[in-house]
Chains A and B, each alone.
Chain A
Amino acid sequence: MTKKHTATAALRRGLLAATFVAGACAAFAGAASAQNLRVGLAEDPDVLDPHQARTFVGRIVFTALCDKLVDVTPDLKFVPRLATSWEWGADGKSLTFKLRDGVKFHDGEPFNAEAVKYNIERAKTLPESRRKSEITSVASIEVVDPLTVKLVLSQPDVTVLAQLSDRSGMMLSPKAAAAAGAAAGNKPVCSGPYQFVERVQNDRIVLQRFPDHWNKAAYAFERVTYLPIPDSTVRLANLRSGDIDIIERLEATDVKTAKADANLKTASAVGLGYQGMNINLANGERAKNPLGQDKRVRQALELSIDRDAINQVVFEGQFAPGNQPFPPANPYNAKEIPIPARDVNKAKALLKEAGVTTPVAVEVTMANNPRSQATMQVIQSMAQEAGFAIKLKATEFATMLNEGTKGDFQANQYGWSGRPDPDGNIHAFVTCKGGLNDWKYCNPEVDKLLDEARTLADPARRKANYTAVQQILSKDLPTIYLYHESWIWGMKKKIDGFVAHPDGMIRLDNVKG
């Protein structure tokens, strides 16, 4: 028997050894240097060509990689970036930029009026460009002198400036872009504070400080590494374990955990976009039901909802309830139209007045993510009290968009990431021919007011138009706006100088740590 014991003892040792491999490997310790800022993103960006890109996280990378003509401040004012000043023509049909002198692209090529002309023309003509509808009103670009460029517009359009504060206004080196063609995003050459080093898809994007940047003193980090980590729990775990310095889109429900950690801090800003419930009014057969045909039924549905309760229950009070496409702090938010309080009796009375049989059956399509599902479940139970029987249909996002375009929905819940200019949050969604108006809302009065607002340079007059539109929309209710998401960042305590912007970007100027 002793021999048998020897054999099992050997096996036992093997077993123990295997168990401790994990522990042994932990001995390789090592932390990355503070010169490298590691940023945790919620998704992997798509192609890194500003004219082709479409993802939100892509814009975060561009903030460091590609400078644009103008930037936008947290209170939504436009400020110089590559352009130092700009002036509208007297008829509103031209916009002239004075450009910053001495700016270089990452390949050493000079930035000038020719480069601006090349880039805007590329955004307008590249077959793969996703920027075309943003700058349709730009008819031609004239080089006045090497540092002056004039955009000639086909009609007055004040929204152009806002478009140029984002990807439409980002500048690629004309030489590199012309050589690479549609593949320019594989090795982007821009003029931003950081230049492209490498990208491993789904893993990381590495940028290196650009030594010839016009404002290089403002950028402290030698390197920036963006790491896509889709799972929010894992993203936070990386931040807590010290593997990452800053993460975007910390879940509202995780804010408490992050705040409780002595090494971390958080920052947040209410975003530019909104989340809402869109109702099919005239897109095919599925619009033919009481909810789609009678605005009193839609008003009843709105009155059954307690938006503040949704914010408290689902988002721990971190977001901002809303009943308009513009968030509460946005200058175009109409204070005259407050969020209606929940009123079940009034909702019931409206349903009675509409003469519909209760419960009113409604199917709402939503994205199959926890956030949409939780929101809609709360609404489902609230609306039930007022006489609605809401059936929820969780669908994968791409499918939901497709069904929306085809009119295969009664109502759907999704949102819009938001634009700094008010036009970007409303025009395409509610004008008769709007490209994103899947519910086919059509009201000539709204079209007239919104088209006119595009031409008004005076903010007060513009606001009057938007307010008038909202007075109409808050009664017609093609979309029941629900809330405005907040961008929440989690970061190490030592990160200093980070400014929370409502556009959700991570701007690195004057950030240290």
Chain B
Amino acid sequence: MLNFIARRILIAIPTIVLVSIFVFVLQKLLPGDPILVLAGEERDPVVIEALREKYRLNDPLPLQYFAWAFQALQGNLGISLRTNLPVLDLIGEKLPVTLQLAAMAMTFALAIGIPAGIMAAVKKGTWWDYAATGLALWGLSIPNFFLGIMLIFLVSVQLNWLPASGYVSPAESLSQNLRTLVMPAFVLGNALAASIMRHTRSAMLGVLKQDYVRTARAKGLLERVVIMRHALRNALVPVVTVATLLFGELLAGAVLTEQIFTIPGFGKLIVDAVFNRDYAVVQGVVLCTAIGYIGLNLLADVLYVVLNPRLRTR
């Protein structure tokens, strides 16, 4: 197992290097001069030149990349062009927010998706199945931003139950923290719940047809035991893999959700950075995200092995 993990990590290194080069080059291809954005309404050529020098934007591209990569290897991702704050600090400040949001969204997705998937499979062809499948279709079709705005109007403006947007850190007030995140987490988890429900349903349908399930029933086991202990455990293997990979997708979905609910997370950080041509922040965030994705893929593989003992003997 350790060998397997070590091998995967070794393969990940060139991937990360490639990603960092791509990001570096691609964002230089973006039209728009970061210094003009930075200078704002001040267009004094002397100031503009001084800023360009300060951020080394006059150097040739490979030199800029190596300077950045050399610093990055030492844990210095540079400073934000826009706010003068170290990129690493910004990431450290924003990443936990998005991780919490993603974890809560995943909780919603699993709490809705798995039971609904089981219900749909066990009661295949009944009202339960159609309702769950219909709900899944709705969840997949409704755009994040629309659901978000509608929920704000219903829950915050009309019912006054939850704050319309914003974020409070759990250290400050856990209850306020949950109040601010519950709506965005629901919105973000919504589409995922649909996907998980469909995966659970098809996996369960496959498992329920298996001989050992029939045997279990024939033994006279409680139906609850047959489904929960015998069928579900096997059906969960592909679901867990999918859910782990979907967690990466959550980070992407968070970009939009954070924008709507004004949550100061990773997604908002990168959107603002792109619009302001804040190169250092974009690079740092993308690098972190790439590492995260690779980590999640690795985790999915490991979980797969843990859940399916047959794979361990290899």
Contacts and interface: CB of A to CB of B under 8 A. Distances in A.
B292 interface: no
A132 B44 contact: yes
B220 to A, nearest CB: 9
B228 A7 contact: yes
B165 A132 contact: no
Which secondary structure dominates where chain B touches chain A?
helix
A130 B40 contact: yes
A7 B160 CA distance: 37
Contacts of B38: 54
B222 interface: yes
Contacts of A200: 93, 264
Interface string A215-252: 00000000000011111011001101111000000000
Nearest to A14: B115
A237 B157 contact: yes
B28 interface: no
A242 B264 CA distance: 20
A82 B256 CA distance: 44
B82 to A, nearest CB: 5
B260 A7 contact: no
Interface in A133-148: 133-134
B157 A6 contact: no
A128 B262 contact: no
B249 interface: no
Nearest to B169: A200
Interface centre among A203, A243, A402, A416 (most CB of B within 10 A): A203
Contacts, number: 202
Interface string A160-190: 0000000000000000000000110110000
A108 interface: no
Interface in B254-291: 259-262, 264, 268-269, 272, 275-277
A408 to B, nearest CB: 10
A266 interface: no
A44 interface: yes
A55 B276 CA distance: 12
A243 B51 contact: no
B182 A21 contact: yes
A447 B166 CA distance: 49
Interface string B95-138: 00000000000001001100110110011000010000000000
Which secondary structure dominates where chain A touches chain B?
helix
Nearest to A4: B223
B25 to A, nearest CB: 18
B42 A233 contact: no
A201 B89 CA distance: 11
B37 A132 contact: no
Contact of A44 (B46, B164, B272): B272
Interface stretch (A23-31, A63-71, A285-293, A494-502): A23-31
A467 to B, nearest CB: 25
Interface stretch (A84-92, A149-157, A323-331, A393-401): A393-401
Interface in B27-44: 30-34, 36-44
B213 interface: no
B276 to A, nearest CB: 8
A212 B270 CA distance: 40
Contacts of A237: 149, 152-153, 156-157, 164-165
Contacts of A436: 41, 43
A230 B84 contact: no
A372 interface: no
Interface stretch (B172-180, B236-244, B296-304, B305-313): B172-180
Interface in A114-140: 127-134
B108 to A, nearest CB: 7
Given A202-B268, A202-B269, A401-B36, A234 B165 contact: yes
A240 B182 contact: no
B119 A233 contact: no
B295 interface: no
Nearest to B268: A202
B147 interface: no
Contacts of B277: 398
Given A4-B223, A238-B164, A405 B182 contact: no
A21 B276 CA distance: 38
A398 B85 contact: no
Contacts of A25: 162, 178-179, 182
Report, as a range, how many residues of chain B touch the other chain. Answer: 35 or more
B65 interface: no
B50 interface: yes
Report, as a range, how many residues of chain A touch the other chain. Answer: 35 or more
B47 interface: yes
Contact of A243 (B54, B155, B164): B164
A202 B51 contact: no
Contacts of A182: 84
Given A7-B224, A132-B46, A237-B165, A230 B259 contact: yes
Nearest to A16: B115
Interface string B9-40: 00000000000000000000011111011111
Contacts of A132: 42, 44, 46-47
A397 B166 CA distance: 26
A47 interface: yes
Contact of B42 (A28, A54, A186): A54
Contact of A402 (B32, B42, B50): B32
B115 A54 contact: no
A402 B31 contact: yes
A503 to B, nearest CB: 14
A359 B94 CA distance: 53
A55 B42 CA distance: 11
Interface in B72-103: 82-85, 90, 93-94
Given A182-B84, A201-B85, A241-B156, A398 B119 contact: no
B135 to A, nearest CB: 10
Contacts of A11: 115, 118-119, 122
Nearest to A133: B44
A237 B38 CA distance: 31
Given A25-B162, A47-B83, A401-B37, A435 B43 contact: yes
7 contacts: A21-B111, A22-B155, A26-B161, A201-B94, A234-B165, A398-B31, A428-B43
Interface of B: 30-34, 36-47, 50-51, 54, 82-85, 90, 93-94, 108, 111-112, 115-116, 118-119, 122-123, 128, 149, 152-153, 155-157, 159-167, 175-176, 178-179, 182-183, 186, 222-224, 227-228, 259-262, 264, 268-269, 272, 275-277
Interface of A: 3-8, 10-12, 14-15, 17-19, 21-23, 25-26, 28, 30, 44, 46-47, 52, 54-55, 127-134, 182-183, 185-186, 200-204, 227-231, 233-234, 237-238, 240-243, 396-399, 401-403, 405, 416-417, 428, 435-436
Given A230-B262, A241-B163, 11 more contacts: A7-B122, A11-B115, A22-B182, A26-B179, A30-B175, A133-B42, A133-B44, A134-B42, A237-B157, A240-B156, A240-B164
